[in-house]
């Protein structure tokens, strides 16, 4: 089953795409090809094209094939981390003096990549609220090569209209890049909605078990896929075979995990909405969320991330994070266990003092798949 075989349902592709039983033994799980190099049959005749594991590895290929299928793309590429994937994308598509539009509440590491690394190298960037199509239009310049969005955004859970922004980017000759980390391909397939490139931190929902760091790019266009693959090898930030294997193992349950993440997040968002110590709840599944209708149009469900603003301000937000017990205080997201964090001082600390600074009273929850009543009880005691 390949990435071009889109006749199957999502869960079938998650379990089988790129993962045919191994021909020699029939092993149903792709082996971990823990090798750096391969014996060649003659000079210039590598077996099945494999010559060196930075350039190609069968375990990574299985993951790449599966990722392409899940995102309904033509080509998937796996990297050592989400930021390694982003770096290759930026350096493949952009040249010095080009410009990129990024979200005004982008993931802090993405902001840092543009502001501290790409800018030094001569790339221009500006930040726009991606929920506002007119604001994104106003931010586009003649030299804009990419409109880069997250939806939902990290950590404010704003929703961008992928179809509308794809049309806008294309009118200007730019690519629409969607960081699909928060939604996962189970909840949202940006390429189907018109985007050109999907970015993932596979560290999150795709891997799903907080045991492996990785990243991915998936594209709809073979020519761009080829250029990215060239630079994946040329710059070398590939994931190792064991990391690729762990990610692939996580992917098999992506659909069932996401449904439980969504069930639990919906219950928690509704609970927080009625809590006197919570000033506001940011969850696209709530009918009052400004992006609710767009999210309902382009997502299967609304995801496992819930943010809220503490009524007592920054001190109260920090206190809730410190008091939580079952919700583990930690960075990252998308694993089976629930996490709580204070974005202003943790994941988004690198945006402090910038236009992307996040509110101090904000708390972000990555709602896991534990028994929801236990999660509610933990929040009850942490907020008490």
Ligand X SMILES: Cc1ncc(COP(=O)(O)O)c(C=O)c1O
Residues lying near ligand X in the complex (CB under 6 A): 81-83, 107, 109-110, 150, 154, 179, 181-182, 201, 203, 213, 215
- Catalytic residue from among 60, 112, 204, 309: 204
Closest to ligand X by CB, 319 or 337: 337
Strand partners, 138: none
**Whether 107 is catalytic:** yes
Of residues 182 and 302, the one with the C-beta less far from ligand X: 182
Task: Please check whether residue 15 is in contact with residue 252, taking contact to mean a CB–CB distance below 8 angstroms.
Answer: yes
Query: Looking at beta carbons only, is 15 or 340 nearer to ligand X?
Result: 340
91 is catalytic: no
Q: Single out the catalytic residue among 33, 38, 107, 205.
A: 107
Instruction: Find the residue with minimal CB distance to ligand X.
Output: 82
Judge whether 204 counts as a catalytic residue. Answer: yes
Catalytic residue (one of 98, 179, 243, 361) = 179
Q: How far is the CB of 220 from ligand X (least distance, A)?
A: 20
Closest distance of CB 45 from ligand X, Å: 37
38 is catalytic: no
Nearest of 98, 127, 97, 99 to residue 112 by alpha carbon: 127
Q: Across-strand partners of 364?
A: 307, 341
Our CB check for ligand X shows the closer of 87 and 161 to be: 87
CB of 147 to ligand X, least distance (A): 16
Minimum Å gap between C-beta 82 and ligand X is: 2
Catalytic one of 54, 91, 249, 345: 54
Q: Return the number of the residue (63 or 278) whose C-beta is nearest ligand X.
A: 63
Distance of closest approach, residue 250 Cβ to ligand X, in angstroms: 13
Q: Which residues are catalytic?
A: 54, 107, 179, 204
């Amino acid at each position: 089953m390949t990435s071009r075989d889109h006749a199957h349902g999502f869960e079938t592709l998650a379990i089988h795409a790129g993962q045919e039983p191994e021909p020699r033994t029939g092993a149903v799980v792709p082996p971990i090809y823990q090798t750096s190099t391969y014996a060649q049959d003659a000079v210039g005749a590598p077996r099945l094209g494999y010559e060196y594991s930075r350039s190609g590895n069968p375990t990574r290929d299985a993951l790449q094939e599966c990722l392409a299928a899940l995102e309904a793309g033509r080509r998937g590429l796996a990297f050592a981390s989400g930021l390694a994937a982003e770096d290759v994308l930026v350096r493949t598509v952009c040249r010095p003096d080009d410009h990129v539009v990024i979200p005004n509440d982008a993931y802090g590491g993405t902001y840092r990549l543009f502001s501290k690394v790409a800018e030094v190298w001569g790339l221009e960037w500006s930040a726009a609220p991606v929920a506002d199509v007119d604001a994104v239009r106003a931010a586009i310049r003649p030299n804009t090569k990419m409109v880069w969005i997250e939806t939902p955004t990290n950590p404010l859970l704003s929703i961008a209209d992928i179809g509308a922004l794809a049309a806008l980017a294309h009118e200007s000759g730019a690519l629409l890049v969607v960081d699909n980390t928060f939604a996962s391909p189970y909840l949202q397939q940006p390429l189907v909605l018109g985007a050109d490139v999907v970015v993932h931190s596979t560290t999150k929902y795709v891997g799903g078990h907080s045991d492996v760091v990785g990243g991915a790019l998936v594209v709809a266009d073979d020519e761009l896929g080829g250029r990215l693959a060239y630079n994946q090898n040329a710059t070398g930030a590939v994931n190792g075979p064991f990391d690729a294997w762990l990610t692939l193992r996580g992917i098999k349950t992506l659909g069932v995990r996401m449904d439980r993440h969504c069930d639990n997040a919906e219950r928690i968002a509704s609970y927080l909405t009625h809590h006197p110590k919570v000033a506001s709840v940011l969850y696209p599944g709530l009918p009052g969320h400004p992006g609710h209708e767009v999210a309902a149009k382009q997502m299967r469900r609304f995801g496992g991330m819930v943010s809220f603003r503490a009524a007592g301000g920054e001190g109260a937000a920090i206190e809730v994070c410190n008091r939580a017990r079952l919700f583990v205080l930690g960075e990252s997201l998308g694993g089976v266990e629930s996490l709580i964090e204070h974005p202003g001082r943790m994941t988004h600390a690198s945006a402090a003092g910038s236009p992307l600074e996040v509110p101090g009273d904000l708390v972000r929850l990555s709602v896991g798949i534990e028994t929801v009543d236990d999660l509610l009880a933990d929040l009850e005691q942490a907020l008490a």
